[in-house]
């Protein structure tokens, strides 16, 4: 017997699509900026041309499993694990690393998506793009945790909440700095 409230196709229930995330939520805002960075890095083609791997932030260590105390980072970790599982730590230092690069399309840690190697940084500067991964890392931490973070140490300085207008301005400035 099938419930009248959930439409059925064959024996499978057609569940309503999940609602779009509330952009006022820090995790949704973070994922929006992460997507911009991912598209930018992939769009440059630098890693594919020079190293034969997908370019979405350079990783050379397992930062994904570093202990995190900030609430936003913990939520990000929980969502990543829900979507991608725990990964496989037996083959590489990072459970989400593969021969073709990072397998995560979303929900990377702020350091994973912000960091790029010195060679890539130089290549961007030669194109007139002044990318500073430490500043980007601090920005992502700040958005994700609704707090201002020190760009060098990653330490929380003060809590704050930004409006939609302020977030739109941050996003616009990031796009302009990346020339996208």
pTM of the complete model: 0.76
Extract the tokens encoding 28: 């949704």
- CB burial class (10 A; 0-12, 13-18, 19+) of residue 149? buried
Mean pLDDT of 63-78: 75
Per DSSP bridges, beta strands 12-13 and 97-98 are unpaired
For the chain, give every domain's residue range: 22-178
What's the pLDDT score for residue 109? 87
Between 42 and 67, name the one with better pLDDT.
Answer: 42
pLDDT 10s digits, 130-145: 999 888 988 898 899 8
In this structure, of 57-61, 89-93, 113-117, 140-144, the range with the lowest mean pLDDT score is: 57-61
- CB burial class (10 A; 0-12, 13-18, 19+) of residue 135? middle
């Amino acid at each position: 017997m099938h419930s009248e409230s959930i439409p059925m196709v064959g024996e499978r229930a057609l569940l309503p699509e999940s609602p779009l995330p509330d952009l006022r939520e820090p995790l949704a805002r973070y994922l929006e900026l992460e997507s911009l960075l991912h598209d930018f890095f992939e769009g440059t083609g630098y890693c594919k041309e020079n190293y034969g791997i997908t370019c979405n932030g350079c990783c050379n260590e397992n930062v994904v499993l570093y202990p995190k105390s900030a609430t936003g980072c913990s939520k990000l970790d929980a969502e990543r694990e829900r979507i991608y599982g725990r990964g496989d730590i037996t083959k590489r230092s990072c459970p989400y690393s593969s021969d073709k690069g990072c397998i995560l399309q979303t929900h990377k840690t702020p350091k994973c998506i912000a960091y790029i190697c010195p060679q890539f940084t130089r290549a961007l500067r030669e194109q007139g793009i002044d990318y500073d991964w430490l500043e980007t890392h601090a920005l992502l931490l700040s958005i994700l945790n609704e707090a201002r973070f020190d760009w060098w140490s990653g330490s929380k300085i003060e809590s704050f909440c930004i409006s939609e207008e302020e977030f739109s301005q941050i996003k616009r400035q990031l796009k302009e700095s990346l020339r996208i």
